[in-house]
């Protein structure tokens, strides 16, 4: 969507107090918009005005906040976390724009944190960054309506494409491919996209940093703050201990698939995640540094270790396919798939089934393992101009064998007995592709 100058239009900008959102707000103000900064807190905290209004009154207030007090608890972690709203307000003051704070801790817990906990307990993964992006956009839209604004904006590196014939919207890659964030915005809906602008869509990170220097404001870079992947953050384990009953924390054994031996017992599968390495066990048990957690079966308490060199996948089975435009579902689509913001796109063929079920076959097999539960994003092409054509939640990735998808090592490399066979193998139809 192009950014049209208008002195009459009001745009609400999601502000973090860091570089990208600050420059986005600055550029919009220069273009003639009436800009309002919105700081969204996911923290278990109190956000108060100097007049000591309660939280509900604050949500409805039509006056900018004048002083903010944030009381950190420390359990909130993940993405887009603001620990000091006063810093965000200070940035807005420097830009001479109004500022409002919104406490969205309940949305964060119900739509993100609870699903992270559930995924870890089930031995699967989750994509917090993608779901968090939707929460942010929902909050901005809600605030836009209350403040009678016209548009919302963020500091994401991304573009919005509108088909002038069908009037369908889609997310498109930014010019700065290295910092492109279309992946984490893949589940946005029309209600978001038709009201959303990205001021940094045509800029590169180095250009944004130059604008920050000209502004003379000391700001942190968002990327430098992402020390942990949320699903791998040690605090998730602590949160599960604090918020779940002991009956859900299944005890069991850690099994070395390579040697078909029990390494040790453990006190809960929730302490592990697929892809985990640098393993340390209670009682001092040790394993080869090359071993990684490759499977978790909470039902029997099994945590399985293997070498990623023994694994590969070529077929992926997915659910909850989401797209903002229509397809001829009877025909497969040649496209590209990506399973992480920093991963490369891989060519594949996408097949459609009923009830938002899809499968994808990679052109070339990929080494390693993909954890169930993550979101995979499909693009129409590589490079600049690539559009998100859809996204879906991974059920299983592996190879086709005897009419099934399996992800244990190939039979010729399989030294295991029956008890560790791939019991979760998914059956294929005779074509080997459609499910």
Pick among 3.55.40.20, 3.40.50.620, 3.40.190.10, 3.40.50.11930: CATH of 10-230: 3.40.50.620
Domain 10-230 matches domain 311-427 at the CATH topology level:
no
* Topology of the domain comprising 311-427: Elongation Factor Tu (Ef-tu); domain 3 (2.40.30)
- Regions in the chain scoring below 70 on pLDDT: 1-7, 44-80, 222-228, 409-435
Convert the pLDDT of each residue in 226-262 to its tens digit: 545 889 988 899 999 999 999 999 999 999 998 989 9
For the entire predicted model, the pTM comes to 0.86
Convert the pLDDT of each residue in 323-352 to its tens digit: 988 878 889 999 999 999 889 999 999 999
Q: What is the 3-state secondary structure (H, E, C) of the chain?
A: CCCCCCCCCEEEEEECCEHHHHHHHHHHHHCCCEEEEEEEECCCCCCCCCCCCCHHHHHHCCCCCCCCCCCCCCCCCCCCCCCCHHHHHHHHHHHCCEEEEEECHHHHHHHHHHHHHHHHHHCCCCCHHHHHHHHHHHHHHHHHHHCCCCEEECCCCCEEEECCCCCCEEEECCCCHHHCCCHHHCCCCHHHHCCEECCCCCCCHHHHHHHHHHHCCCCECHHHHCCCCHHHCHHHHHHHHHHCCHHHCCCEEEEECCCCEEEEEECCHHHCCCCCCCCCCHHHCCCCCCEEEEEEECCCCEEEEEEHHHCEEEEEEEEEEECCCCCCCCCCEEEEEECCCCCCCEEEEEEECCCCCEEEEEEEEEECCCCCCCEEEEECCCCCCCEEEEEEEEEEEEEEECCEEECCCCHHHCCCCHHHCCCCCEECCCCCCCC
Q: Which sequence spans correspond to the domains of the chain?
A: 10-230, 247-306, 311-427
């Amino acid at each position: 969507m192009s950014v049209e100058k208008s002195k009459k239009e009001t745009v609400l900008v999601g502000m973090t107090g860091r570089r990208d959102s600050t420059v986005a707000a600055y550029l919009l103000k220069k273009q003639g918009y009436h800009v309002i900064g919105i700081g969204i807190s996911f923290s278990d905290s109190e956000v108060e005005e100097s007049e000591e209004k309660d939280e509900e009154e604050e949500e409805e207030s039509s006056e900018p906040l004048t002083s903010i007090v944030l009381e950190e608890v420390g359990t909130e972690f993940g993405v887009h976390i603001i620990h000091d709203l006063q810093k965000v307000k200070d940035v807005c003051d420097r830009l001479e724009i109004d500022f409002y704070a919104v406490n969205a801790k309940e949305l964060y817990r119900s739509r993100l944190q609870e699903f992270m906990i559930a995924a870890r307990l089930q031995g699967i993964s989750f994509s917090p960054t993608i779901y968090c992006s939707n929460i942010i956009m929902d909050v901005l839209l809600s605030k836009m309506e209350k403040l009678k604004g016209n548009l919302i904006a963020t500091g994401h590196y991304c573009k919005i494409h509108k088909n002038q014939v069908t009037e369908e919207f889609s997310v498109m890659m930014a010019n700065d491919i290295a910092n492109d964030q279309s992946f984490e915005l893949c589940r946005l809906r029309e209600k978001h996209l038709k009201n959303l602008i990205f001021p940094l869509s045509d800029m590169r990170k180095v250009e944004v940093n130059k604008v920050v220097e000209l502004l003379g404001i000391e700001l942190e870079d968002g990327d430098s703050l992402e020390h942990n992947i949320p699903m791998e953050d040690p605090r998730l384990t602590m949160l599960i201990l604090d918020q779940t009953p002991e009956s859900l924390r299944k005890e069991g054994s850690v099994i070395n698939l390579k040697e078909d031996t029990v390494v040790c017992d453990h006190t809960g599968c929730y302490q592990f995640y697929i892809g985990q390495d640098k393993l340390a066990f209670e009682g001092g048990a040790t394993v080869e540094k090359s071993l990684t957690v490759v499977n978790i079966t909470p039902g029997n308490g099994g945590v399985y270790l293997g070498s990623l060199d023994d694994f590969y996948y070529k077929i992926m089975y997915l659910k909850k396919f989401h797209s903002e435009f229509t397809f001829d579902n009877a025909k497969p689509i040649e496209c590209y798939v990506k399973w992480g913001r920093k991963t490369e796109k891989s060519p594949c063929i996408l097949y459609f089934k009923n009830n938002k079920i899809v499968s994808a076959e990679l052109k070339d097999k990929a080494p390693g393992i993909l954890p169930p539960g993550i979101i995979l994003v499909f693009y129409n092409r590589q490079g600049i101009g690539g559009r998100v054509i859809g996204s879906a939640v991974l059920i299983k990735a592996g190879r086709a064998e005897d009419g099934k998808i399996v992800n244990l090592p190939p039979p010729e490399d399989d030294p295991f007995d029956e008890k560790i066979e791939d019991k979760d193998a998914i059956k294929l139809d005779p074509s080997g592709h459609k499910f």
